[in-house]
Amino acid sequence: MVHIWNDPTEVPEDFGPCVVTIGNFDGVHRGHQQVLAQLLRTAGQHGNRSVVVTFDPHPAQVHQPDSAPELIMGLQDKLDALAAAGLDAVLVMKYNLALAGMTPEEFVGTVLLDGLHAAHVVVGHDLRFGVGNSGDVGTMQALGKKLGFGVQVINEFGAEDFPVHDDGGTPRRCSSTWVREALAEGDVETAAVILGRPHRMRGEVVHGAARGRALGFPTANLDHSATGYVPADGIYAGWLVDESGTRWPAAISVGSNPTFDGVSRQVEAHVIDRPEEAVEDFNLYGQTVVVEFTARLRGMVAYRGPEALVDQMGLDVIQAHDLLLNK
C-alpha cells in the first residue's frame, strides 16, 4: 500500500528514515522512472522508506497561468504511475505562493528533514527548488553536507538499455516536453515509447449530441473536464477501461467533427466488439473511464455527407480491430 499525504504534518512520526526525490513528475516518463529506480535501490540498500515529493497544481499554473503547459496526466494518473513503481509513499505538496516563497534551506528543513526524516535525497541533474528556483544540485549537496543527509545526482535519460532518438537519429533526453510535442502531432506511438506505456486520458462519460449512435457507432464522450493531454485531432485505435477495470478495444475520435457544423472539440470512444446480447445495456454514462491511445489511424477529414462518413467510420473500426486484436 502506498501512503498518500498532502502536507508534511500528516507524515507519522515513526515513518522513516526516508530516501526522497523531488519533482513535478508530469507523465512519469522513462527519465522519471530512472530516478525512481535509483530511489528504490538506495532505499533498499539502507533499509529506508522510499518517498516522492511532488506538487499540485503544477508550479507553472501558479506562476504563469496563461502560458502553463497542458499537463500530460491528471493527479490521479500520476499517483497511479508512481504507485506502480513500488514506492512507499507520495507527499503531494499544495503548490502556492507561500510554498514558492520558501528558501532552499527552509524547504529542506521543513519538508525533507522535519517532515520526512530524509537520510538520502535522489535528484536529477537539472533540479531547481526554493524561492525563484534559487536552489540547484550544488545547493542540495551543500545542505546535505551541512545537515547530514546524502545526495545522489543522476542523469534523467534512460539511454543505457533504452536508446531514444529524435527524428534525426540523435539521442534525446526523455522529457515531459518531448511527450507533449509528440502528442501535439498525434504521434501517440512515440509518446508511448518515451512514457513506457500508452498515453491516457481520464474523465466522466457524458451525453453528447448522439450523432454517433444515430449513425450506428455510439460513443462514450469524455467530459470537457477530463484530465490528460488531448492529442492532435484525428482517429485513433486504443482502449477504454471502465470503472470495473474491464478493457474494451475502441476506435477513438479527437476533435470537432468537420462533417457537421457547430460541434465543439471533444474526445469520444466507440467500443468495438461489445457483446451483442448486451448492447442495449452497455451504458457507461456517469462512469469515470480511462481512454488509452495506441495508434493514430488518420487525421480528421470533412466528408460529403453522413453516408461517406459512415463508410469511413466502418473502415476505421475494422482497422482499429485488426491493430488491437489481431496482433
pLDDT of residue 313: 81
pLDDT of residue 242: 93
Q: What is the dihedral of CA 9, 15, 21, 25, to 10 degrees?
A: -70
pLDDT of residue 125: 85
Q: How is residue 39 written as a grid cell?
A: 530511489
Distance (Å, whole) CA 65 – CA 58: 10
- Which amino acid type is present at position 32? H
- Which amino acid type is present at position 165? H
pLDDT of residue 310: 74
pLDDT of residue 159: 42
pLDDT of residue 325: 87
Q: Is the pTM of this model over 0.75?
A: yes
Distance (Å, whole) CA 42 – CA 20: 10
pLDDT of residue 170: 65
**Termini Cα distance of the chain:** 35
pLDDT of residue 238: 97
| Mean pLDDT per 10-residue section of the chain, whose length is 327 residues | 95 94 95 92 97 96 93 97 97 96 97 97 91 95 97 70 56 88 96 95 83 64 94 96 93 73 74 63 85 94 68 86 86
Vertex 151 angle, CA 81 and 94, to 5° = 45
SS (H, E, C) the chain: CCEEECCHHHCCCCCCCEEEEECCCCCCCHHHHHHHHHHHHHHHHHCCEEEEEEEECCHHHHHCCCCCCCCCCCHHHHHHHHHHCCCCEEEEEECCHHHHCCCHHHHHHHHHHHHCCEEEEEEECCCCECHHHCECHHHHHHHHHHHCCEEEEECCCCCCCCCCECCCCCECCCCHHHHHHHHHCCCHHHHHHHHCCCEEEEEEEECCCCHHHHCCCCCEEECCCCECCCCCCEEEEEEEECCCCCEEEEEEEEECCCCCCCCCCEEEEEECCCCHHHHHHCCCCCCEEEEEEEEEEECCCCCCCHHHHHHHHHHHHHHHHHHHHCC
Is residue 218 within 8 Å of 212, Cβ to Cβ? Answer: yes
pLDDT of residue 121: 97
